[in-house]
Chain A
Amino acid sequence: MKAKIGFIIVLIFGILVFSSLKLEFGNDVGITAEMYIEKGVSETGAVNLVSSILADYRVYDTLGETIILFIAILGVSMILKGDKK
């Protein structure tokens, strides 16, 4: 059983490494990323581009992230809090 799981893990790792060899880094990154880089500072006023994406352009994702954190805390507290009553 462990040999099968290990074989599957090695296979997935090999597929990922083999497929990443064809990727070309440092080329054209797309319209959205170029728009962020060019207009990020003038549109949001924040110098930190990562923060301007997280808290202005993609703030819906940040909202979902905080909801995920809340649900994680809720699950942990439901499992580990115990029954006092």
Chain B
Amino acid sequence: MSSRIVETATNIVIPFMILYGIYIIINGHLTPGGGFQGGVILGSCALLVYMVFGIKKHGEYLSIFENIGALIFLFIGLSGIILGGFLFSNFIARGTPGTITSGGTIPFVNIAIGLKVAAGFAILFFIVLEYIERRD
């Protein structure tokens, strides 16, 4: 359905988009961005792949990724009760501000949210495109 030009351009662009999304998620506590924004970038990568190469039957694997993200997020929150005293307490050492290891639990929360949002948006696009394909 799609042309050879679009497929080649997508093959070139997709690794950079994935790298940029991961960069936005991991540097969420240093530069503008965060888990939700980087997750949306990764989810739009999935949309590009679906639109160019067609959808495959892998919606179940995506829901596993979303569950893993939600479970990491809740695990950070619940371990904050044990180690810090209240839910979602920042129990890891803060570090020097400006470095990649600073922020305590904030990078881990960003990674969990990014995983969950990326998988969630991929599921959303998957379901909508599958519905359109089946209706036609």
Contacts and interface: CB of A to CB of B under 8 A. Distances in A.
Contacts of B65: none
B29 A46 contact: yes
Given A48-B30, A51-B103, 19 more contacts: A41-B97, A44-B94, A44-B106, A45-B94, A46-B29, A46-B30, A46-B103, A51-B28, A51-B29, A51-B34, A51-B110, A52-B106, A60-B87, A60-B88, A66-B116, A70-B66, A72-B124, A77-B127, A82-B134
A73 interface: yes
Contact of B110 (A55, A76, A82): A55
Given A45-B104, A56-B106, A80-B128, A70 B120 contact: yes
B22 interface: no
B127 A45 contact: no
Contacts of B117: 66, 69
Interface in A43-85: 43-48, 50-52, 54-56, 59-60, 62-63, 65-66, 69-70, 72-73, 76-77, 80-82
Interface residues of B, number: 39
Contact of A55 (B109, B120, B130): B109
B31 interface: yes
A13 to B, nearest CB: 29
B21 interface: no
B34 A80 contact: no
Contact of B34 (A44, A54, A69): A54
14 contacts: A41-B97, A44-B90, A44-B94, A45-B97, A48-B34, A50-B34, A51-B106, A52-B29, A54-B34, A55-B34, A59-B77, A63-B77, A73-B120, A76-B124
B106 to A, nearest CB: 4
Contacts of B95: 45
A47 B29 contact: yes
B30 A47 contact: yes
Could you say which of A44, A45, A48 has the most chain B C-beta atoms within 10 Å of its C-beta?
A45
